[in-house]
Structure 1
Amino acid sequence: MLEEAEEIGRRARRARLRLGMPQADLAAALGKTQGWVSKMERGLIELDRVGLLNLVASALHIHPNDLIGRPYNSSPSENQWQVAAASILRELRRYDLAPVFEGPPRTSVQLWQETTRLHRLRDAAANVAIMQVLPDLFREARALAEVATGHEREEAFAVYTVCCKFAHTAAHALGHPELVAMACERAAWAARLSSDAVMPAVADWMRVWDMWATADWTDAVALSDKALRSVQQGYERGEPLAVRAWGSLQLRAAVSAARAGSGAEAEDRIEHARTAAERLGRYAGPPVYDRHSLTFSPGNVQIHAISVALELREQRKALAINRRTSPELVAALPNSRRSHHHMDLARAWLWDGNRDKALRELETAERTAPQLIRNHPIARSTLRSIVYAERAGTREKLRRMSDRFHLDG
């Protein structure tokens, strides 16, 4: 684990030297000192915030995955997801060609029922299983769009868009940037061909996530606002799917603003999202299926508020928000979101100087969604910091004891 931090530093140094960039220039681009860059390149500083990691990668003109070495080295069985990823890429590349599909495709209603399985896998953070399901579903949705007309054809493209979103989320979690980028592009294409007024905003929600990889925080906020305007009328009418999308986009904007260092705007966006969650809670009509797969609830707003505080390096504020958050709100969240929450709390406790609580939170995160946490760069960074601090603490205790025992005498 400790060697991984040193390798990240070496990758950063190699990328900087390829550009002919002095340490002082990289420091200026990052708003850091040359000493900070030197320590980072020697593996002595952890890139322990996604915003910071992405900023360093952007300044070096490389992808964050290239900096941290994702996908991580795993066993052959754990690498099987890449076979499914290649199959998904094949389907996405031939998006405008008639698919090879035997027999008649199922109806859009049946395909939507199939996406409920993906929702369950998403909630459990079973990203490898999602990858394995998607190739056939992409092919069948595209086959339906080829033979159907009218509303049925539009619904086929809506299913295709949602499949892109699941591919996008799983590829982010597992570390496959090519699939991330192509899924986002195809989602925008299919969303325009669907009859779903909210679907283009969902595609923009995905694009905001991709802008984070290149540290384009201002553009991410601007794109969030563009998407917000597209669902504003539905939000004002209280349409549940539009309200859900509107609130989710506000959370995207909040994180983007926090990474840009704009704490006041981030707080405003969190409050807007909280208002949307309250509005969703007051809905009294018939049940509405969350076909866009946007996890939005009062609990999700609270854990985003904690994430925003951490992006602003305000761990005590994050811990205070957590104390005020009802455990029931967090318990109602899917495993994928709860594991992120506990990972954030581990980071907060570590920064606050409590390694025992940090480790307990990280263990909870791993139990909740092991596949997600073991592949997350911030979880790995947090664990490395705990291990290093424990080793340093043990060395110091031994030095003091050896002094008392006069072992050097």
Structure 2
Amino acid sequence: MSEFNTGAGDPETIGRRIARLRKRAGLTQQGLADLAHISRSLIQQVETGKKNATPSLVAAVAAALHVDPAELYGQPYRGETAHQDRVHAAIPEIRKALAYMDVPPDLDVPLRPLDVLAAEVATLRKLSLAARHVQVGAILPGVLAELSVHAVDHGAPRAWELLNAAQAVAAALARRLGYNDLAGLAIERAATAAARADDPNLPRLVQLSRALLMMTIGAWEPGLKLVRRAGDGMDVSTPAAKAVYGGLHLRAAVLSARAGNESDAWEHFGAAEEIARSLPPRMPDFYALQFNPANVEVHGVAVAVELMDFDEAIRRDARMVKMWQRSPLPPERRAHHEIDMARALVSVNRFDAALRRIVQADRTAPQMARYHPMARETVTRLLDHYRTLPEPLRVLQDRMGLS
């Protein structure tokens, strides 16, 4: 269901979707609360817009109602015009390109050399870190198709390595836009490519992507098992391997927080901090992981937010300005942090501060803010709070199709 409308009634919020799907399942609020192992009052407050729907709540309700969390979020967020909907235009071609694993396509253009395609993959990674979804979609299908020809027809490990990287970008784009089935397919393809490359870190990176998808769909415990297994026996003698190992700990920290395991969350976070401190200060960005002290601190705020320790999140956020001056982060990570802080500030009724942070997220990475469920949920809460809408909030309302 599109969240763009023509003015006839309000767009459907997460709370209203929960109420609609609950009624369709023949459940009372108490019945849903019992199945989801949460309180009836929380269900009531979320359905009526008095409290934010957190990722943990959405996952619990989705499991109780036997639906994909994306359905409760309303994803994918489609537009009413070609311009509003252009971010989705590449999805059919990406689906087609991911089907080429064993039977590469007949190309309509000459096959470019691997060096040229390696530069394209580097560009895709930069665009992905900048949350430039439309631009990623414009380049990605062709790169996937050409790399499939190189990998299958010639079998060079480098071709499989580049194909794995492009498939990881595809998984990230699909997940961000709410196409969880497509993200799963891309991860499966990336696993096949990783097994045929020469880099021993790639299979572990695939597990990192799988765990992120599991977090998206609310499978906290399986995701934790996955990342812990991926780190078992890992050779961390190189900086690249340390970065991957640290990334696994960060993923485990957020998964543990979403599962409500506070001690495990901070233990994994502490391990990631130690690994980040052990790395050279001017280290390359291995695998576009952005594993560095600044990104670790961003995850510390995220852990606190997921644990609903909003005071701790606010305290940690106060240290971020100096950290970012020493170690700048790409737009995707900065915007994600702003969204987390907006969530925290709304939850403690600091609505003006929350508005400033969500506006900053939109300025930093507009395509990310437009399609991020928690950004949209925060804007919805702000719309409910203000009797007279501040102009920045009105702009966000229009951009997100919530008017």
* Corresponding residue for residue 212 of structure 2: 209
1:385 aligns with 2:391: no
Q: Cα 1:392–1:18, aligned 2, differ >3 Å: closer, same or farther?
A: same
Structure 2 residue 299 is matched with structure 1 residue 299: no
Within a 5 Å distance, the mapping from 1:91-106 to structure 2 comes to 91-101=97-107, 105-106=111-112
Task: State the shift of 1:89 in Å.
Answer: 0.3
| Aligned match of 1:351 | 347
What residue number does 1:56 align with?
A: 61
Q: CA 1:360/1:7 → structure 2, altered by over 3 Å: closer, same or farther?
A: closer
Residues of 1 paired with 2:314 and 2:338: CA distance? 11
Q: 1:282 to 1:113 in 2, by over 3 A?
A: same
1:86 corresponds to which of 49, 74, 92 = 92
What letter is aligned with 2:332? S
Map 1:7-406 onto structure 2 (within 5 A): 7-47=13-53, 49-74=54-79, 75-101=81-107, 105-149=111-155, 153-229=156-232, 232-233=234-235, 235=236, 237=237, 239-281=238-280, 288=284, 290=286, 292-329=287-324, 332-391=328-387
Identity %, equivalent residues: 31
> RMSD of aligned C-alpha atoms?
2.4
SS of the residue corresponding to residue 281 of structure 1 reads: coil
Alpha-carbon distance change, 214 to 170 in structure 1, aligned in 2, over 3 angstroms: closer
CA contact under 8 A between 1:54 and 1:212: conserved in structure 2?
no
Is the deviation greater in 116-125 or in 260-269?
116-125
TM-aligned CA deviation for residue 339 of structure 1: 0.6
Inter-partner Cα distance in structure 1 for 2:16 and 2:368: 26
If each structure's helix is expressed as a fraction of its own residues, which one has the higher value? 1
Q: What is the rounded CA distance, in whole Å, between the counterparts of 2:351 and 2:310 in structure 1?
A: 14
Alignment partners' CA distance in 2, 1:298 and 1:282: 9
Give a deviation string over 1:228-259, Cα, whole Å, max 9, x none: 126x21x1x1x121111111111100000001
Question: For residue 306 of structure 2, what is the amino acid of its counterpart?
Answer: E
The unaligned stretches of length 5 or more in structure 1 are 395-409
User: 1:398 maps to what in 2?
Assistant: none
Q: Greater shift after overlay, 334-343 or 64-73?
A: 64-73
1:58 touches 1:214 (CA, 8 Å); kept in 2?
no
Equivalent position amino acid for 1:3 in 2: D
Render the CA deviation track for 1:145-194: whole Å, top value 9, x for unaligned: 13324xxx111111111111111111222222232121111111211111
* Aligned residue type for 1:203: V
**Paired residue secondary structure (1:70):** coil
Which of 1 and 2 has greater Rg? 1
Tell me what 2:393 maps to.
none
CA shift in 2, pair 1:357/1:41, >3 Å: closer
Q: Secondary structure at the match of 2:21?
A: helix
- Separation in structure 2 between the aligned mates of residue 288 and residue 377 of structure 1, nearest angstrom: 31
Write the distance in 2 (CA, Å) between the matches of 1:304 and 1:213.
Answer: 16
How far did residue 15 of structure 1 move?
Answer: 2.9
Residue 139 of structure 1: how far off its partner (Å): 0.9
The 1:70/1:94 distance shift into structure 2, 3 A limit, reads same
The one-letter code of the counterpart of 2:70 is N
Post-superposition CA distance 1:363-406 (Å, at most 9, x none)? 11110001100111111111221221223999xxxxxxxxxxxx
Equivalent residue for 1:399?
A: none
- What is the alpha-carbon distance in structure 1 between the residues aligned to residue 180 and residue 93 of structure 2? 15
Q: CA deviation at 1:281?
A: 2.6
1:3 corresponds in structure 2 to 10
Q: What letter is aligned with 2:260?
A: G
What secondary structure, in the 3-state scheme, does the structure 2 residue paired with 1:273 have?
A: helix
Whether the 8 Å CA contact 1:15–1:60 is kept in 2: the answer is yes
| Gap change, CA 1:82 and 1:386, over 3 Å in 2 | closer
Q: Deviations over 1:43-85 (max 9, x none)?
A: 44431x2222222222211112211211224232131232311
Distance 1:320 1:42 in 2: 30
